[in-house]
Amino acid sequence: MVRTVAEIPVLRRPTPATLPEVVRRFWWPVYGEARSRGNTPILALRVCGAVLGRAAHGPSFLRAEDNSGRLRFVIQRELKQTLAEPERVNTASPLEGVSIPEAEARDDYDRFPEENAFNRRWAVVVLEHALASIRQEFEAEDCQEQLERIKPYLARRVPEWQTTEITEVIDSAEVANLRDRFRNEVRRLVSETVTTPMELDTELAELFGDT
């Protein structure tokens, strides 16, 4: 029997990620900014190595007066400083675990990027990790097919059964539960990038709007 989303037990959340683990999630915004400023792929990976290494092992994230208690600001500041000092890039080791083909496949990296490209990529990373976490929960309960059936309705309206083929009918309660779980996971992931609850709400609003 297929269980509804509401009937799937909520698994205990994993141990909170360490700062280096959280920092590494956001290699793509750093890489994209480096590439859009004319750096080659290998140099962009060196920028990632320099920026993320300093952000992960420095004390600046804990100094709210410097960065409003937000990791995004820490990395942006480190990125700006690194791009302004070519010697940092030339002596840095490329970020491990990310290949050039993988990095290049993520984006077109226009030479003159949109002003908000870094924040847009940051938000996408959060959403990707939230979806991956939700998928793991469903896989643990052997409900992968159920997730794939309702996942498209995270971002679109549930069809009305009166005007839709019966094979496409979707339980709106299932979708509502999935959306709640997804929003909660996004909030949890973003909470790992800020130091106070007040900054959490501000960060969510800036990345995803007020809705």
DSSP string across 154-175: GSSPPPPGGGS-GGG---HHHH
pLDDT of res. 27? 97
Could you give the CA distance from residue 84 to residue 87 in angstroms, rounded to a whole number? 9
pLDDT of res. 59? 62
Could you give the CA distance from residue 11 to residue 175 in angstroms, rounded to a whole number? 18
Q: What is the mean pLDDT of each run of 10 residues along the chain (211 residues)?
A: 42 71 96 93 96 81 64 93 90 94 92 83 95 86 78 71 52 83 93 90 90 50
pLDDT of res. 7? 46
pLDDT of res. 26? 97
Report in angstroms the alpha-carbon separations of 14 from 18, 44, 136, 138.
Answer: 12, 32, 11, 15
pLDDT of res. 82? 94
pLDDT of res. 23? 94
pLDDT of res. 195? 87
